[in-house]
Amino acid sequence: MSLQLHERYSLKPFNTFGIDAQARLFTEVSSDDQVREALALAAQRGLPVLVLGGGSNLLLTRDVEALVLRMGSRGLRILGEEGDQVLVEAEAGEPWHPFVQWTLAQGLAGLENLSLIPGTVGAAPMQNIGAYGVEIKDVFAGLTALDRQTGALREFNLADCAFAYRDSLFKQQAGRWLILRVRFALRRTAQLHLEYGPVRQRLQAQGIDSPTPSDVSRAICAIRSEKLPDPAELGNAGSFFKNPLVPVALAERLRAEHADLVSYAAGEGQVKLAAGWLIERAGWKGFRDGDAGVHRLQALVLVNYGDASGAQLLQLAQRIQADVAARFSVHLEIEPNVI
């Protein structure tokens, strides 16, 4: 056996909330063969499997009676170029932000708006991660995944993945597909997206009138660092709630009651509301109950001030959901995976 197995292993270093839950068994894999070996071992022992990337989209509310499989595969490569477009591939275990920085160092544009997002490359398609007007689906070129039901490899194109707002086939069919590597179509010539949020204003304040992709990345890193706490210093999983989609009629009613309502047209008779605005207006920003709290600068972020349990954080999230629903008739959906 090439796997290193650990029994009753603390997952505190492997989730950004810093929750001290234990795994029944834990192993880290770095190749397709090790993935298959780990899955076979779990089947042999009658254990379910929980796949971990960077643990940045996870809330552990209890010990995990499963084989926790951490993806540690590494590798970055340029597969080919056609005209202005460059196809790159990254192994699932690659940390996301260093991968983005690697693409910029190669002179490639497309991922700069997704800078400083925690997690790994393999986890990115699960949530169709997005920020500042760009989502994974906008630059996605394909991925390779293992079907845990059959053991076969399958190649996925854009249409196969059923990407939606913070959603995908892989999230809908949780537990079936294990993503091994992901491909992206990037460009030598930048097509910058500066319209969303304060990106353009930040660049202008720096005197940058003709920004490069690296300029955009640095600006977004600065903005995110100001808005979001560093998990290494304060446990969190980034945005804890999705921005809700509501019917136009409800959005119009809320705007009549709250002139400063933050919203974005979403098409098909829907409007996207800013979950952070709803939570802040409901009075939860900066709230703390023991070591479970809401960040003082960003109401969308739940934080662990030290020794909060996952159950305590989930209870706080549920209190916020109930209050926002009562005040605004809006249901907030939790973004991290809750175990």
pLDDT of residue 103: 98
Q: Which residue from 3, 42, 5, 53 is spatially nearest to 148, judged by alpha carbons?
A: 42
* 191 class by beta-carbon count within 10 Å (0-12 exposed, 13-18 middle, 19+ buried): exposed
Encoding tokens for residue 132?
A: 């500042």
| Whether residue 44 is found in the same domain as residue 146 | no
Q: Is the pLDDT of residue 325 over 70?
A: yes
Q: What confidence tens digit (pLDDT) does each residue in 78-135 have?
A: 999 999 999 999 999 999 999 999 999 999 999 999 999 988 999 999 989 999 989 9
pLDDT confidence of 264, banded at 50, 70, 90? confident
Question: Quick check: is 2 catalytic?
Answer: no
* One domain for residues 88 and 219: yes
Measured CA to CA, the distance from residue 68 to residue 90 in angstroms comes to: 22
Residue 197 has pLDDT above 80, yes or no: no
Instruction: Find the angle CA(267)-CA(157)-CA(338) to the nearest 5 degrees.
Output: 70
The model carries a pTM of: 0.86
For the segment 304-323, what is each residue's pLDDT rounded down to a tens digit? 999 999 999 999 999 999 99
Rounded to whole angstroms, the Cα distance separating 215 from 217 reads: 5
Domain total in the chain: 3
State the residue range of the domain holding 108: 76-227
Q: How many percent of the chain have pLDDT more than 70? A: 100
Beta-carbon contacts of 182 under 8 Å, excluding residues fewer than 6 positions away, are 89, 90, 92, 121, 122, 124, 125, 140, 142, 143
Q: In the predicted model, is pLDDT for residue 60 greater than 90?
A: yes
In the annotation, is 268 catalytic?
Answer: no
DSSP-assigned beta bridge partners for residue 178: 146
The answer to whether residue 80 is domain-embedded is yes
Nearest to 133 by CA among 60, 83, 86, 199: 199
Any residues with CB less than 8 A from the CB of 15 and at least 6 apart, and which? Answer: 21, 52, 55, 56, 58, 59, 60
Q: What is the structure's pLDDT at 232?
A: 86
Place of tokens 């999983």: 237
**Domain-located, residue 100:** yes
333 with 243, same domain: the answer is yes
84 found inside a domain: yes
Among 177, 192, 227, residue at a domain's last position: 227
Question: Which of 71, 94, 119 lies at the terminal end of a domain, its last residue?
Answer: 71
- Say if residue 205 is in the same domain as residue 116: yes
Who contacts 231 (Cβ-Cβ below 8 Å, separation ≥6)? 16, 17, 18, 56, 118, 237
The least confident of 17-26, 74-83, 222-231 is 222-231
Catalytic status, residue 335: yes
pLDDT at residue 195 in the model: 84
CATH number at residue 263: 3.90.78.10
In a domain, 247, yes or no: yes
Q: What is the CA radius of gyration of the chain?
A: 20
Q: Choose, from 56, 73, 115, 239, the residue flagged as catalytic.
A: 239
Looking at residue 331, the DSSP 8-state letter turns out to be P
pLDDT of residue 1: 59
* 153-177: burial string, b at 16+ Cβ within 10 Å, e else: eeebeeeebbbeebebbbbeeeeeb
* 220 and 244 belong to one structural domain: no
Residue 145 has pLDDT above 80, yes or no: yes
281 falls within a domain: yes
Q: Hey, is 250 helix, strand or coil?
A: helix
Residue of 166, 183, 224, 281 marked catalytic: 166
Residues 123 and 206 in one domain: yes
Q: Where are the beta strands (DSSP E) in 213-316?
A: 235-239, 245-247, 263-267, 270-273, 288-289, 292-294, 301-304
CATH number of the domain bearing residue 168: 3.30.465.10
CB 244 within 8 A of CB 332: yes
Calculate the average pLDDT of the chain: 94
